[in-house]
């Protein structure tokens, strides 16, 4: 059997996907199931939980397969980590994760939805090079208003 050049990536991806699937399963289970008089199988977390269960099975299969195949070692050399952290794409990814995390932490925590979402959209577009600034603010404002209108008026889902 030939060596798998992606063995390390498959092991880490399998572990990450297992963690994500377990998190989604737990959160799907915690969703309110008895708000209506609907049966348990019609609850809001059922489909999400089943999809996460399928993801868990595939992630376990990926991890087991990667562990059983020969290939490069699982340990990541320090030089490789430093080379990855020095890439511009890695810094952009970290900035995007920071922006998304900040947005999610602010959403529904007393900061109005329009400020949170409009600010997030404007910050993302400005930090990643959209110009001119007045067009960025216009697009952010129109997009935020459109999302609020669609969810509040059409889908009847209140936003935070």
Residue 22: burial class (beta carbons within 10 Å; 0-12, 13-18, 19+): middle
98 and 152 in a single domain? The answer is: yes
Domain count, the chain: 2
Boundary-marking domain end, from 49, 75, 101: 75
65 and 118 in a single domain? The answer is: no
32 and 103 in a single domain? The answer is: no
71 and 132 in a single domain? The answer is: no
Boundary-marking domain end, from 53, 75, 97: 75
53 and 103 in a single domain? The answer is: no
Query: Structural domain of residue 40, as residue ranges?
Result: 1-75
In tens, the pLDDT along 87-117 reads 888 899 899 999 998 998 887 778 888 899 9
In tens, the pLDDT along 7-38 reads 888 888 999 999 999 999 998 888 776 666 76
């Amino acid at each position: 059997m030939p060596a798998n050049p992606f063995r390390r990536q498959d092991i880490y991806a399998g572990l990450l996907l297992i963690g994500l699937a377990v998190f989604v399963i737990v959160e799907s289970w915690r969703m309110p199931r008895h708000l209506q008089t609907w049966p348990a199988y019609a609850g809001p977390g059922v489909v999400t939980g089943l999809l996460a269960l399928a993801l868990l099975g595939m992630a376990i299969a990926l991890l087991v397969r990667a562990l059983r195949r020969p290939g490069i070692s699982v340990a990541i050399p320090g030089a490789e980590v430093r080379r990855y952290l020095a890439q511009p794409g890695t810094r952009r990814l970290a900035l995007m994760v920071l922006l998304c995390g900040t947005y999610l932490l602010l959403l529904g925590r007393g900061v109005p939805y329009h400020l949170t979402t409009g600010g997030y959209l404007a910050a993302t577009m400005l930090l990643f090079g959209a110009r001119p600034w007045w067009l960025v603010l216009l697009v952010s404002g129109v997009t935020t208003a459109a999302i609020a209108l669609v969810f509040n008026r059409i889908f009847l889902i209140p936003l935070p």
